[in-house]
A and B are shown apart, each in its own frame.
Chain A
């Protein structure tokens, strides 16, 4: 199972919005509404930010939103803040009854 494709890096200024894409195939992202997004600060464990494509766990800011179109899922962060600077990973359930992660995207807040 190949990793999902994410841009290596994205950047934005405080207050702006950014979108991170996550492209897979019909065997993973396109075939299931089980896409999750994780935030990982340096030296820390990943934290669930979005599940089931667009749902937010309790306690996650509503500045984070998720969507999907075809084989591509997206994470949008609005009103960028300095603390949003981190690595972001997408994950999807697959037709192999497993899960696959994206390669990760480094978000820089300018």
Chain B
């Protein structure tokens, strides 16, 4: 069974750094792209970027380029999303999602989400 298990909720202050994780199991982690999606409170879904754990090829959506860093450690089947300096506007639910074997088809499995709250 394909599973993506994300790290728990975080409460941070503006300016702090943060790294959240997404551990894949039940499939070949290095053979599928993993994407990160933001959902701000009461809002829709937004693509942030994707990574191919096999070779760490990473692509960012223009809105998120330079704002976050996506990485992966294939030895432990885990992808990461990190911020160096959080802002209140980063408060959101963040989902990781596995892209279909045909990446153009989009995501097929999703993690349960990680709620990030940034408040002074």
Contacts and interface: CB of A to CB of B under 8 A. Distances in A.
| Bound pair (A, B) | yes
Interface residues of A, number: 26
Contact of A46 (B45, B100, B105): B45
Interface of B is mostly: strand
Contact of A93 (B37, B59, B106, B109): B106
A46 to B, nearest CB: 5
Given A51-B108, A91-B106, A101 B47 contact: yes
A4 B96 CA distance: 21
Contacts of A57: 108
Given A34-B106, A36-B106, A46-B95, A102 B44 contact: yes
Contacts of A102: 44
A103 to B, nearest CB: 5
Interface residues of B, number: 21
Given A46-B45, A101-B44, A36 B110 contact: no
A100 B104 CA distance: 11
A61 to B, nearest CB: 17
Contact of A45 (B46, B59, B95): B95
A52 interface: yes
A93 B45 contact: no
A93 B47 contact: no
Contact of B104 (A32, A38, A101): A32
B110 A47 contact: yes
A34 B37 CA distance: 18
A100 B44 CA distance: 11
A100 B47 contact: yes
A51 B44 contact: no
12 contacts: A34-B104, A36-B107, A45-B112, A45-B113, A47-B110, A48-B108, A48-B109, A91-B106, A92-B106, A100-B47, A101-B44, A101-B46
Interface of B: 35, 37, 44-47, 59, 61, 95, 97, 100, 104-113
Interface of A: 1, 3, 32, 34, 36, 38, 44-48, 51-52, 57, 89, 91-93, 97-104
